[in-house]
Structure 1
């Protein structure tokens, strides 16, 4: 977890370090990323890096969390308790657009292609959501992943997602 020492830095210094992290983690998978280019780009000592973060994985999780908060801040998560396929389609479209338009696109693409399996992320407990909601989360994530990795497939993937969501809502035919 990012240290209090890091959060006490000036906004400018935090931004410079985040930009250095973004540069490294957008260009290199976590497995081959290194501290040296980050500290050089950020203009900080190697020891300072380890005062701010436990290790590269900690720094990566911090940055990816920042990216997700920034992109998700534009997304509405209220369904009104009703399963509405169009709502979820709009959420996927909004996330993909937000990712593409953000400074974090390279990071997100690298995450989906190389790093996702290396980072333990909190998953949704299937006992806390309905089966259609759980299936929708899994399908939506996979749709986002495929669209980010292969943007030319967006219309085909969105059509398949739409058909699957209609099936889950009871409106579609197999």
Structure 2
């Protein structure tokens, strides 16, 4: 977890460190990323890095969390209570567009291609959501991954996702 020492830095210093992290983690998978380029780019001592973060994985999780909060902050998350396929299709479109237009696109693409399996992310307990909601989360994540990794498949992926979500809503045929 990012330290209070880091959060007490000036915004300018935090931004410089985040940019250095972003550069390294967008260009290198977590398995081969190194502290040396980060500290050089950020202009900080190696020891300072370890005062801010436990290790590279901690720094990665911090940055990825920042990226997700930034992109999700622009997305409407209010479902209105009913299972509406179009709402989820709009969510996927908004996330893909937000990721594509953000400084974090390289990080997100690297995450989906190389790092996702290395980072344990709190998954949703299937007991806390309905079957259609759970299936929608899984399908939406996979659709996002396919579109970001292979942008020319977006139309086909969104069409298949639409068909699948409509089936889950009882509104269509396969």
Q: How many residues align?
A: 174
TM-fit CA distance, 1:6: 0.1
What TM-score results when the alignment is normalised by the length of structure 2? Answer: 1.00
Aligned mates of 1:76, 1:123 — CA distance in 2 = 21
Alignment partner of 1:21 is 2:21 = yes
Structure 1 ranges of 4+ moved more than 6 A: none
Alignment correspondent of 2:72: 72
Partner of 1:140: 140
Deviation readout 1:118-172 (Å, 9 max, x if unpaired)? 0000000100000000000000000000000000000000000000000000001
Q: Provide the rounded CA distance (Å) in 2 between the counterparts of 1:111 and 1:74.
A: 21
| Displacement after TM superposition at 1:80 (Å) | 1.3
| Mapped partners of 2:125, 2:83: distance in 1 | 18
TM-score normalised per structure 1: 1.00
Q: Which runs of 5+ in 2 are unaligned?
A: none
CA deviation profile, 1:95-126 (whole Å, cap 9, x unmatched): 00000000000000000000000000000010
Within 5 Å, which residues of 2 pair with 1:78-93? 78-93=78-93
Q: How does 1:100-139 map to 2 (within 5 A)?
A: 100-139=100-139
Tell me, yes or no, if structure 1 residue 42 matches structure 2 residue 42: yes
List alignment gaps of at least 5 residues for structure 1: none
Compare 74-83 and 18-27 and name the one that shifted more.
Answer: 74-83
